[in-house]
Structure 1
């Protein structure tokens, strides 16, 4: 093999990569020149050859209006808010930019997740996944369908190998929380199909949690039949200057023109008979019937299968197993639906549009029928606001079949079916009760007994949640009445107290005025009579009162007394409100805690008194929000100082305890020396004989106990009879006498030893 032949393949690979790079650069340069007016076919878009090949294979030649308007801006990397009628080709409007985004970024399996599509229902996710397999089959990207009901372990192992994920919100959040292989940190594009339903109250928390885990720097595309413009929704999706595209906004109607829409007014107890008659009269059409709860669908499916209407019936509801659900979806084939019947009134006008849009798709004809109760006729006003043309039709009574008797017979024979009917009854009433629009949905106006009989039930089941609600309402009414009574009593008491206060104040004022009058008259008498001049001859000069000083005193006393009396007269009685006002003026804050340091000074803000330099710098910094890393450092530094303070406190505590022990010992020694005297000898060096005797006694007692245990064991072997009370008493006396003898011996020995020592001295 020659040198040239050996390195020939490597040169080819290099040339291929270089060619791909030039093709991608030319495509990106052509994105800015896209104009929707100039586009008539998909070939007019600057798309990759793999995408064009996939579109041509499945006869996607001419783009729809939403595709013409949105694909150009999507390829340029802008965020899109796309609103278009049902069946107008929104799926391709976001799948083509998705494939081109990954193609231009040279995405491979090693790069991980690059595109994420979120849909509210499993059937819609399956439909998008099938379309992606058709259009993107010539690309090298790996795609995964992640929906509830599938094998979770199978999905978990392969999540890191998926470049495109199509999922429902609940299952996606489960993988985000539980699957360590799921990594969306390099996500390039996020797509929400049926965005208004994804962002409503049902999926609000899950979608918020999903978006919190996604990178903020990404492209976001939102498509729906009824697009939301809510600022809160757009803010939480972190859209940057989104381009709003609504191709049918200026049209007279918001639903497809080929869709014929009708409604009928029907009583609740006639609904089952009506839908049975409708199925019997449309046996050669494909009919899609919507109900408000899964349990209703299950019951009607079971009963109608047993009654045999002459047409195949399939049930599709949330609690159905996923394999059965997919089988029903495949066999029914949704795009070719002739009739959409909404047997129960939808929650809103948007919900009606989504349901009715299952027919008349891709410029095909279709019909929809809405069944309304007399209490639900206000829904027509909401439909008119949404520009939905709907006409009333009448039921042909001749073609209406009554199946109430046959249903009663089925329930009498089958207890399982009877329980299913009871659950369906409660589920419908609960669904009506939980609806937001109470002007349209009113539970109190429903004839529940007649509805139960129409389902084949002899007696209407108990509606416990309504009973609980009525009890709660009655309790609230009673509580409110009691509170009103208490308030009325308080007001009456306050009014009576006010009247008493006014009366007492007026009486006090009258008494004060009379006292003032009496005092004024007395003072006048004293001023004129007390200071009259006496005869100079009768009294000596020594006993005569000096007139000048007393005149001044009398004037001052009169003025003071009058001022005091007037102030007392004008003084108002002190009330609680006046005391509170005084406290407020003094700016006294009640229930306030004050913290003092070791020096006795008040700590102004105990929670934010930092010691370390890092903490003080962090406190001075006026930044919005909380820096978590900096806060952790501050806590660590502050913990060091707290630990040092705690250690010093413990050391000081131990020192104080030692001091106290030393003081106690010294005090004990001083007391012992004072009590013994100076003449007595120091006998502290002698051994304590009592301790020895005690030790010997304990050893003897242990030996005796061991001996007794041995003897007792022997006795138990020979004689099973237990010891009597007399024997125990005698043994106790012997032990006491032996202890007394030992004590007497020890005392004698001590006395003898002490005498010997004294004699030696």
Structure 2
């Protein structure tokens, strides 16, 4: 199906054709007609599926009519969880609307508020914002919502994770009830469902349409995932080895802590590899410059904390590295979703060190698949992780034998249960302490 069949006008079709868009993705096929009809929408779509265009293009189509906009007013409000995502979405809006007479901008913290206030004086058709700066501008009366027509919550699950529910509720309280509501989320947890219910409460008589284009527990099938078991103190050497030996053209490297990100950049530099880091302590101007260099290809290796896990849309990014395995399976999915986007292929490599086994079990359970293991000469740990999450057999503490009983504790478990547990194990067995869910230290030697 071509984009022309979705009810989009020639200026928009011309813009997306110039950007190389050939056919709509599944989320775009489903969402665009619903949004054009004016209905509320709750969409579950994993990252990298083209969801930004799914809500921006029909908004542009709806606004593609001459209309006088009063000062300090906005017609569409797109709320994002991070500054990076706000910048990315605003850039997409500008590209898609290049042949339309519409205005757009992004407002976010970390930069001077005065230039943003000045741009809002004449009003803006489409405003992309983070919650904190948006509330600040509203409090200063630099922005009014009485002419708002469309509200979009992008990556609602991330907003929940970052503790923005209170801010979202404050924003909704300021908005007119007669509006169209669009919510996009990679997962639909109970907390996100609560937001969706409140979000669309203004149209109880006309329930929101719900769509889901992919299982919430899956990563894109265009991503080749594999892992390496490695001792923690040889991670930087392993990364350098892979970059040089496999001649990586570019890599986005995720790490947990800010100070560790800075340290890794220094370690790579000592081995002749130029990298930069972005994290919460770097200025917004510096983060924007580094991201621009990475997107243009001027910078090949970017070390990032979770601040960049979502919202980065880097054309043809071929590789993501989990230098530190994330604690939450959702974070793993969002991280590797920076590659293999919009049908392109990508590669996701994870370093698994001592202490990561439970995280790995959770990730593989969420993915419902075993991540491929690879060995790299010179970087093997003393003993590798078990070959399957099924080796992680949960055992409960058996009851204490009654006084006088001659039965040993090892025989208290029913024979059938022991047989089932043995049947579930495959590959190299993991030793498990009966009083603890964690694998025994002998897994690692």
Q: TM-score range by the shorter chain?
A: 0.7 to 0.9
| Contact 1:54–1:135 (CA under 8 A) maintained in structure 2 | yes
Alignment pair present for 1:284 and 2:244:
no
The structure-2 alpha-carbon separation of the partners of 1:164 and 1:123, relative to structure 1 and needing over 3 Å to count, comes to same
- SS of the residue 2:355 aligns to: helix
Q: Distance in 1 between matches of 2:317 and 2:8?
A: 33
Compute the TM-score of the two structures, normalised by the length of structure 2: 0.74
Higher helix proportion, which one? 1
Alignment pair present for 1:218 and 2:218:
no
1:154-169 to 2 correspondence within 5 Å? 154-160=115-121, 161-169=123-131
Q: Hey, what does 2:280 align to over in structure 1? A: 318
Q: Hey, what does 2:155 align to over in structure 1? A: 194
The structure-2 alpha-carbon separation of the partners of 1:275 and 1:79, relative to structure 1 and needing over 3 Å to count, comes to same
Q: By how many angstroms is 1:260 displaced? A: 0.8
| Contact 1:336–1:359 (CA under 8 A) maintained in structure 2 | yes
- RMSD value, Cα: 2.8
Q: By how many angstroms is 1:282 displaced? A: 4.0
Q: Deviations over 1:523-564 (max 9, x none)?
A: xxxxxxxxxxxxxxxxxxxxxxxxxxxxxxxxxxxxxxxxxx
| Contact 1:85–1:255 (CA under 8 A) maintained in structure 2 | yes
Q: Distance in 1 between matches of 2:114 and 2:437?
A: 45
Query: Which of residues 195, 200, 219 is equivalent to 1:255?
Result: 219
- SS of the residue 1:300 aligns to: helix
Alignment pair present for 1:151 and 2:106:
no
Q: Deviations over 1:119-177 (max 9, x none)?
A: 22222222222221121122222111112233311111222322211122222222222
| Contact 1:84–1:90 (CA under 8 A) maintained in structure 2 | yes
The structure-2 alpha-carbon separation of the partners of 1:276 and 1:58, relative to structure 1 and needing over 3 Å to count, comes to closer
The structure-2 alpha-carbon separation of the partners of 1:215 and 1:330, relative to structure 1 and needing over 3 Å to count, comes to same
Q: Distance in 2 between matches of 1:61 and 1:294?
A: 40
Q: By how many angstroms is 1:201 displaced? A: 4.4
The structure-2 alpha-carbon separation of the partners of 1:328 and 1:392, relative to structure 1 and needing over 3 Å to count, comes to same
- SS of the residue 1:216 aligns to: coil
The structure-2 alpha-carbon separation of the partners of 1:66 and 1:323, relative to structure 1 and needing over 3 Å to count, comes to same
Q: Hey, what does 1:65 align to over in structure 2? A: 26
Q: Distance in 2 between matches of 1:136 and 1:441?
A: 54
1:593-612 to 2 correspondence within 5 Å? none
Q: Deviations over 1:53-104 (max 9, x none)?
A: 3233333341111111111111111111222233221111000121123235
Alignment pair present for 1:171 and 2:137:
no
Q: Distance in 2 between matches of 1:220 and 1:184?
A: 14
Q: Deviations over 1:468-512 (max 9, x none)?
A: xxxxxxxxxxxxxxxxxxxxxxxxxxxxxxxxxxxxxxxxxxxxx
| Contact 1:262–1:391 (CA under 8 A) maintained in structure 2 | yes
| Contact 1:84–1:224 (CA under 8 A) maintained in structure 2 | yes
Higher relative contact order (CA 8 A, sep 6+): 2
Which ranges in structure 2 are unaligned for 5 or more consecutive residues?
A: 296-313, 381-435
Query: Which of residues 234, 237, 242 is equivalent to 2:196?
Result: 234
The structure-2 alpha-carbon separation of the partners of 1:381 and 1:108, relative to structure 1 and needing over 3 Å to count, comes to farther
Q: Distance in 1 between matches of 2:239 and 2:438?
A: 21
Query: Which of residues 318, 322, 325 is equivalent to 1:345?
Result: 325
Q: Distance in 2 between matches of 1:168 and 1:310?
A: 38
- SS of the residue 1:378 aligns to: helix
Q: Distance in 1 between matches of 2:276 and 2:11?
A: 39
| Contact 1:113–1:184 (CA under 8 A) maintained in structure 2 | yes
Q: Distance in 2 between matches of 1:47 and 1:223?
A: 21
Q: Deviations over 1:443-464 (max 9, x none)?
A: xx9xxxxxxxxxxxxxxxxxxx
Q: Distance in 2 between matches of 1:52 and 1:394?
A: 45
Query: Which of residues 49, 56, 66 is equivalent to 1:88?
Result: 49
Q: Work out which of the two has the higher radius of gyration on C-alpha atoms and give 1 or 2.
A: 1
Q: Hey, what does 1:380 align to over in structure 2? A: 360
- SS of the residue 1:374 aligns to: coil
Q: Hey, what does 1:41 align to over in structure 2? A: 2
1:521-560 to 2 correspondence within 5 Å? none
| Contact 2:268–2:274 (CA under 8 A) maintained in structure 1 | no
Query: Which of residues 10, 16, 19 is equivalent to 1:55?
Result: 16
Q: By how many angstroms is 1:46 displaced? A: 2.3
Alignment pair present for 1:110 and 2:76:
no
| Contact 1:297–1:315 (CA under 8 A) maintained in structure 2 | yes
Q: Distance in 2 between matches of 1:298 and 1:173?
A: 32
Q: By how many angstroms is 1:338 displaced? A: 2.0
Compute the TM-score of the two structures, normalised by the length of structure 1: 0.44
| Contact 1:195–1:223 (CA under 8 A) maintained in structure 2 | yes
Alignment pair present for 1:358 and 2:358:
no
| Contact 2:74–2:148 (CA under 8 A) maintained in structure 1 | yes
Q: Distance in 2 between matches of 1:63 and 1:351?
A: 27
The structure-2 alpha-carbon separation of the partners of 1:152 and 1:269, relative to structure 1 and needing over 3 Å to count, comes to same
Q: Distance in 2 between matches of 1:118 and 1:371?
A: 34
Q: Distance in 1 between matches of 2:262 and 2:170?
A: 33
Q: Distance in 2 between matches of 1:347 and 1:43?
A: 43
| Contact 1:337–1:366 (CA under 8 A) maintained in structure 2 | yes
| Contact 1:108–1:141 (CA under 8 A) maintained in structure 2 | no
| Contact 2:236–2:268 (CA under 8 A) maintained in structure 1 | no
| Contact 1:109–1:142 (CA under 8 A) maintained in structure 2 | no
Q: By how many angstroms is 1:440 displaced? A: 10
Query: Which of residues 199, 217, 238 is equivalent to 1:274?
Result: 238
1:471-510 to 2 correspondence within 5 Å? none
Q: By how many angstroms is 1:259 displaced? A: 0.6
| Contact 2:105–2:126 (CA under 8 A) maintained in structure 1 | yes
Q: By how many angstroms is 1:386 displaced? A: 2.7
Q: Distance in 1 between matches of 2:18 and 2:237?
A: 47
The structure-2 alpha-carbon separation of the partners of 1:398 and 1:267, relative to structure 1 and needing over 3 Å to count, comes to closer
Count, aligned residues:
361
Q: By how many angstroms is 1:315 displaced? A: 1.5
- SS of the residue 1:158 aligns to: helix
Q: Hey, what does 1:667 align to over in structure 2? A: none
| Contact 1:75–1:101 (CA under 8 A) maintained in structure 2 | yes
- SS of the residue 2:234 aligns to: helix
| Contact 1:277–1:399 (CA under 8 A) maintained in structure 2 | no
